[in-house]
Amino acid sequence: MNKKDMKKVVLAYSGGLDTSVIVHWLKKNYGVEVLCFSGDMGQEENLSALENRAYAAGASKLIVEDLRSDFAKNYIMPSMQLHALYEGQYDLATALTRPLIAERLVDFAKKEKADTIVHGCTGKGNDQVRFETTIHALDASLNIFAPVREWELNTREKEVEYAKENKIPINVDKKKIYSIDRSLWGIAVECGVLEDPWNEPTDDTYITVKKLEDAPGSPEYIEITFENGVPIKLNDKKYELVDLIKELNKIAGLHGVGRVDMIENRLIGVKSREVYEMPAATVLIKAHKDLESLVFDREMMHYKEVLSIKFAEVVYYGLWFTSLRESIVAFNNASQKYVTGTVRMKLYKGNATIVGRKSEYSLYKNELVTYADGDIFDQTLSKGFLDLWSLPYKVAGQVRKNK
Ligand code: ARG
């Protein structure tokens, strides 16, 4: 990065080792003014403690914004309603936060007339892609700088040393060998023993989800009520969206639900081993999908499955502020009109099993499907249907047999 291009920067500040060192390092090496931005995404951390650290490291300002409600409503909801799971498993808990944080960084930079946005992502990860693609989609005139990709502090030990030398108060816990990212939608754990894909995750990798051995020995039933695709009640009690997700993280986590251990294809080409905790996401996606099976016709259901895979890729690849993402969400929003009803589930030892569902828009008609008394289905009509349905295959079979 050229020194003369940078005078005032906005830093995506997490309060961790990397970004705390970055504040000091930027001032020392570039003589710039550093303004820090943190978003509360539901990481359940004491964010006021960030303040001391940011100012001690040399920041001239720190803004902490509560983004949980916006995150739940505008990012988690469409993703949940589209049942988005990257490579069939990961609920995108980290990936969904990045465009929202990046959008606020851009607003903050404009307001403060900063010329550059700085982030603490490594050159090996997905998050750099999500931040930078969003920032430049929203404002191409801003510079972006990622010190971790090029600085001399290329090991954790060197960073700790730098922090000590420069009296930056950091929370270095030798036992904290994992890289953990947490939001309302879930937790991602990487590094340490997990870097060997053959190693079973150790007990200290569990945060919100109970180990199966420790989960209660008897099941718990829950009922989730949706209105136009949005969960509004849990066990008949109304909740704000953020609180409902928090509560489900607790209840499902207690029963060992929502743990994923996977090998994932990162966007930049390497594979990584990831352990995720996503109790609320697991339960909500499953319940919502089940309710749709009751109120959607077949073609809607099948078409949404295709969109689900594409949407997960779009989010994972950092393409939130694109017309493809906007269009998929517009389709999804239109589809949620009749997704109203209640789903009953049984949580037990890592399983979240659907045991019942009901809706005023249910397309399930017992009198059509029953083999008992009260059947109104006219089976004689099926002959005509089958004559026409099988016609193309009948013709093809006849033509090909003669060749
Ligand atoms: N692999 C996930 C993603 O790219 C999670 C990354 C989380 N970061 C972390 N520091 N653990 O979205």
Which pLDDT tens digit goes with each residue over 347-384? 999 999 999 999 999 999 999 999 999 999 999 999 99
Q: What is the pLDDT of residue 173?
A: 62
Q: Is the CB–ligand 1 distance for residue 277 below 6 Å?
A: no
pLDDT band at 306 (very low <50, low <70, confident <90, very high): very high
Nearest residue (by CA) to ligand 1, atom 8, is: 181
pLDDT at res. 176:
62
274 alpha carbon to ligand 1 midpoint, in Å? 8
Query: What is the predicted pLDDT for the residue at 65?
Result: 96
Ligand 1 pocket, residue 190 CB under 6 Å: yes
Given the CA of residue 191, which atom of ligand 1 is nearest to it? Answer: 11
Determine how many CB atoms are found less than 10 A away from the CB of residue 349: 15
- E-only strand ranges, 185-303: 186-190, 220-227, 230-234, 237-238, 259-265, 271-277
Band (pLDDT 50/70/90 cuts) for residue 175 is low
- Ligand 1 centroid to 212 CA: how many Å? 24
Q: How far is the CA of 188 from the centre of ligand 1 (A)?
A: 6
pLDDT beyond 90 at 27? yes
DSSP 362: -
Q: How confident is the model at residue 396 (pLDDT cuts 50, 70, 90)?
A: very high
Residue bearing the CA closest to ligand 1, atom 4: 126
What's the chain's Rg over C-alpha atoms? 25
What residues are paired with 263 via a beta bridge?
273
Q: What is the pTM of this model?
A: 0.96
Please identify every residue annotated as catalytic: 18, 98, 127, 179
Cβ density class 19-48: b for 16+ within 10 Å, e for less: bbbbbbbbbeebebbbbbbbbbbbbeeebe
HSE toward the beta carbon, residue 273, CA cutoff 13 A: 13
User: 274 CB under 6 A from ligand 1?
Assistant: yes
Whole-number Å distance between alpha carbons of 335 and 329: 10
Please give the mean pLDDT across all residues of the chain. 96
The alpha carbon of 214 and the centre of ligand 1 are apart by a number of angstroms equal to 27
